[in-house]
Amino acid sequence: MPELPEVETTRRGIAPHVEAREIREVIVRQSRLRHPVPEDLADRLVGARLGRLDRRAKYLLMPVVGERGGTLLCHLGMSGSLRIARLGELPKKHDHVDLVLDDGAILRYHDPRRFGFIDWLDGDVEQDRRLAKLGPEPLSEAFDGERLYAMSRKRRLAVKPFLMDNAVVVGVGNIYAAEALFLAGIDPRREAGRISRERYTRLADAIREVLAAAITQGGTTLRDFVSGTGEPGYFAQRLNVYGRDGEPCRRCGAELRLVTLGQRASVFCAECQR
């Protein structure tokens, strides 16, 4: 599914086309997403302007400027995407929602599996139940190795699912947790509570490194993912372990191993990761 770099790539791709633009029309072709599209969405949006787009974890936040206030909350789910289309560009199958803007651009939501959603929030978005208990952003100053060390004490679960807990840090999904653990030289099976402060410092640095690289290169090429401008990501060309079970480690040449942790596949190098 789209992870933090893919969502951030989408935000950066669509922002220049939608920020400060007036919404002229809302077209809902399929309202039955993970959560139903609000029935009054057009009443709230037509004639309003979109403010500065933001992201929290894997959620896209699209504030509506003016008397109406409020924020569009969008989650891409397993296979969703937001693209910029133009008037006259016919919708494809699974193009469920269009926001038609005043310059002829269309913000188009596409989701074959319909696990994503578009919702409306009034008031402080950080108080929404889906956002209120999220941990810090991994690229922010609030996240570091000291936080990982402190939150891991007496935790017996493996370090990889520990990293994927959104209360610990947001947006470190399966792909990037595997890659960061490889860069830090940490076995994903290790108990979170048995890893030293020094190693968590290295791991926090590795998380920032791998996420920043993925954002710079446009996310990770997955079967369903494209950026906001319709382009695939390119980070998959640099993956060291994810999806490479049975192949040689790029660092030492040993065969990469596959295990299941927290019901998720995890590939690692038993020689390089301890």
**Active-site residue set:** 2-3, 58, 264
State the angle between helix axes of 145-152 and 197-216 in degrees (0 to 180), rounded to the nearest 10: 130
Cα–Cα separations (whole angstroms), residue 44 to 68, 85, 106, 225: 7, 22, 17, 29
- Residue 203 CA to residue 181 CA, distance in Å, equals 7
Q: Is 113 annotated as a binding residue?
A: yes
Please state, as a whole number, how many other Cβ atoms lie within 10 Å of the Cβ of residue 113. Answer: 14
Q: Per residue in 30-47, is it b (16+ CB within 10 Å) or e — as a string?
A: eeebbeebbeebeebbee
Q: Is 130 annotated as a binding residue?
A: no
Query: Nearest 5°: phi and psi at 65?
Result: -90, 140
Closest CA to 213 of 134, 136, 139, 137: 139
Q: Is 32 annotated as a binding residue?
A: no
User: Which residues participate in the annotated binding site for DNA?
Assistant: 94, 113, 155
